[in-house]
Structure 1
């Protein structure tokens, strides 16, 4: 469903890298957390021109890890009519939306406390 190689916008990548520097969480793990936070918040992707111009192009198995199947099924459920490229843009939009709530944490302890409180 998703292409094998996926990328994000440069802005989202920069936010993921800053979060890694502050907390030590790798961009792929942070992207997974951001994606699911976005889904939980009710955000929905609107097909608008979006430039996925980031330089960090990773295999979907790296981006999604053990959540690959669940993530793809969830995207298919929410967006049943999107093709592979648009589905990747939807995933990227969710990561961008979700990272907004995570990007300002300065330590792993602060971030983990936030994630625990949001349950």
Structure 2
């Protein structure tokens, strides 16, 4: 369903890297957290295509890890009529929305308390 190679927008990628510098959490792990935070918040992808111009192009398993099955199932549940490229857009939109609640944490302890 999701393509094997995926990337995010440059601004989202920069926020993930900034969060890594503060907390030590790698961008792929923080992207997983951000995705599920957006799902919990009832955010929905509106279908607007974003420019996925980030330079961090990783394979699907690296981005999603052990959450790959549940991530794809959630996307199928919320967006049953999308195709592979649109699913990547939806995933990227969820990560972008979810990272907004995480990006300003200056330490791992502070982030852990918030979660």
Alpha-carbon displacement from aligned partner over 1:53-102 (angstroms, at most 9, x marks no partner): 00000000000000000100110010000000000000000000000000
Provide structure 1 residue ranges, at least 5 long, that are not aligned to the other structure. none
Question: How far apart in 1 are the matches of 2:7 and 2:91?
Answer: 10
- Separation in 1 of the partners of 2:96 and 2:70? 19
User: Paired residues, what number?
Assistant: 115
CA contact 2:49–2:89 (8 Å) conserved in 1: no
RMSD: 0.4
Give unpaired runs (5+ residues) of structure 2: none
Does 1:15 find its partner at 2:15? yes
2-structure distance, mates of 1:32, 1:107: 18
CA distance in 2, matches of 1:69, 1:78: 14
CA distance in 2, matches of 1:58, 1:112: 26
Shift of 1:49: 2.8
Are positions 1:64 and 2:70 aligned together? no
TM-score (norm 2): 0.99
Q: Which structure 1 residue ranges, 4+ long, deviate > 3 Å from structure 2?
A: none
